[in-house]
Amino acid sequence: MYAIVDIETTGGHASANGITEIAICIHDGKKITRRFETLVNPQRDIPVYIRALTGITNEMVQDAPLFEDVAHEIYHLLKGQIFVAHNVNFDYSFLRYHLNAAGYELNANKLCTVRLGRKIMPGLMSYSLGKLCTHLGIANNARHRAMGDAEATAQLFGLYLKNDTTKHIGAALKQNSKEQVLPANLPKTDIEALPSSPGIYYFHDQKGKVVYVGKAKNIKKRVCSHFTGNNPNLQRQEFLKNIYRISHQVCGNELIALVTEAVEIKRLWPKYNRSLKRFENTYGIYMYEDQRGYIRLAVDKLRKHMPCVYSCNTLFEGRNLLLNLIESFGLCPKLCFIQKNDQPCNGANVGSCACEGHELPEVYNQRIDGAVNELKKALPTFAIRDEGRTSDEHSCILIEEGRFYGMGYISHYYDADNIQALKNYLTPYPGNDYIRNIVTGYAERFPQRKVSFSA
């Protein structure tokens, strides 16, 4: 038996929205044997655009039962049946969430009439319920109302049952089938084409635009995990609605995948990525020559096209570094923007300080050079050589003077002991502190994979 379901709601995801109407048609594979429909009081305002779409107003649901009042009947109608709906994961996630809140645990096999339509009736311009009904001559005089859409879906499903000569419905119901959990618009062939290798994957929308980038030790397993369970939150529901294609890029190992993910998120700025899109409030120590010829050091926010002498995570860290250099090399705190008042310079060379013009720029700048060289000595230059995509290659990531230079793949037999020669095999990428930190942290955990370079 099949339970063909349609619901109307106050919004797009279950955890923050209510159900306003529900219809269930029990179907025996030939005809509808029982109907159930009711308006539901969602205990919240129905947005004006949904009122315009469905015709369901706040006044209409004011005296309707709460969901918890009809949950028992709904649960027993659905229990043991195959749950069928147009874009099934949407309806199922709402009912499962609200039934769970009422104390009932719904676990049912699902069939999606969008996915079935693409298989049983391939080649149509659109698989929306309205377009399918028009194309197939199915009358629906109550579009966007639960029973009107449920009965139309039941007629559509009946046509699928008659025309399913290659047994797509039976295949979708098998225990090991992924059809039940996949987004409605995502071809199963995209999942089947995914490797079980480390790498990154891309979710594309209807226009082909990348809307999410992820990394994985096992691409296929990680991608499938996005579609398991029935999480009612907004991000997952958006995934289910907007994923039309998946592509991937195999990487040699998890580190390459991590770095590539960070690079691609910065490059593509996908809609549904969150964590690696945060604003990076990082700082650097900059060096420049003033009008009098004195070289000055200053801490400032990192600028995209201005190379700094040394990068640091916070303003506090940068000021402490400058204070240590001032003390160790007798630098002028005023020329380093540490002392900003009009009082006499409190540096190490009081009475002959450069800020007062008592010391020639050539003399003072020698100490600046010494301080900068000391900073650069603390900036690591090394490569990480690790597993590649095939047995005859290695992956390689280069950190040069504390900055992420780039990455690529080299021959298993290449020595990689000359940094300038190595760069010919690597692709440069823009870096950031996140990338630098994961690479240096990896080098600390796996020192045997670190390649150092002689001066």
Rounded CA-CA distance 241/191 in Å is 17
Residue type for position 99: L
- Exposure on the CB side of residue 297, measured as CA atoms within 13 A: 30
Residue 370 burial (CB count, 10 A): 15
Q: Give the CA distances from residue 65 to residues 15, 34, 68, 101, 105, in Å, rounded to whole numbers and listed in that order.
A: 20, 21, 8, 16, 20
- Exposure on the CB side of residue 71, measured as CA atoms within 13 A: 19
* Helix 433-445 and helix 254-268, axial crossing angle in degrees, nearest 10: 180
Residue 245, classified by CB atoms within 10 Å of its CB into exposed (0-12), middle (13-18) or buried (19+), is middle
- The sign of the dihedral angle between the CA atoms of 58, 60, 65, 68 is negative
- The sign of the dihedral angle between the CA atoms of 324, 327, 328, 329 is positive
358 is catalytic: no
Rounded CA-CA distance 245/211 in Å is 10
Q: Which of 27, 86, 98, 144 is catalytic?
A: 144
Residue 62, classified by CB atoms within 10 Å of its CB into exposed (0-12), middle (13-18) or buried (19+), is exposed
Which positions are annotated as active-site residues?
Answer: 144
